[in-house]
Amino acid sequence: MKNIKFLIFGIAFGIILTKAEVISWFRIQEMFRFQSFHMYGIIGSAVVIGIISIFLLKKFNVLATNGEKLNFPIKPYNKGVIFGGVLFGLGWALTGACPGPIFALIGNGYSVFIVIMVFAVFGAWVYGLLQEKLPH
């Protein structure tokens, strides 16, 4: 089954998020209060490794293992990025969790985060409902 590898990558990501304590509400508070380097170190070093990796993949024209050309992430700018981004930021500071950590916390036994996940899905659904009426 070709999706098993994504399950395995997900498991690795869940372990890393937990071991890094990125899933902790306290770490997110510490970050937004500029009282520790921890989260900045994680995000900063992740981006540096990501930039170097993509640079090298492009430079050496690396193909995917299935032979396809790589689909590098394209994220065009529109106003929705600002409006949605600020709204997400408000929610990130409230819940202390972006989407990845919500899933990792559920796995860690913080069952009440199922409620947060359900409301996140509901939020995504309401966005879908209103999409054409919202400024982008």
Partner 1 sequence: MIELIKEPWPWYITGPLIGLMVPLLLVFGNKAFGVSSSLRHICAMCVPLDIKYFKYDWKSEKWNLFFVGGVVIGGFLSGQVLMDSEKVQISMETVNDLKALGVTDFASYVPKDLFSWENLLSWNGFIFMALGGFLVGFGTRYANGCTSGHSISGLSNLQFGSLIATISFFIGGLIMTHFLLPYLF
Please report, as residue ranges, which positions from 4 to 23 form the binding site for partner 1 (by CB under 8 A): 4-23
Structure tokens at 7: 């399950």
| Residues 22-51 contacting partner 1, CB under 8 A | 22-33, 35-39, 41-51
- 115 belongs to the binding site for partner 1 (CB under 8 A): yes
- 113 belongs to the binding site for partner 1 (CB under 8 A): yes
Position among 59, 60, 68, 133 found at the interface with partner 1 (CB under 8 A): 68
- Cβ–Cβ < 8 Å for 31, 38: yes
- Cβ–Cβ < 8 Å for 20, 42: yes
- 59 belongs to the binding site for partner 1 (CB under 8 A): no
Q: Return the sign of the alpha-carbon dihedral for residues 35, 38, 43, 48.
A: positive
- 76 belongs to the binding site for partner 1 (CB under 8 A): yes
**Least distance (Å) from partner 1 to the CB of residue 74?**
7
Q: How far apart are CA 68 and CA 57, in angstroms?
A: 13
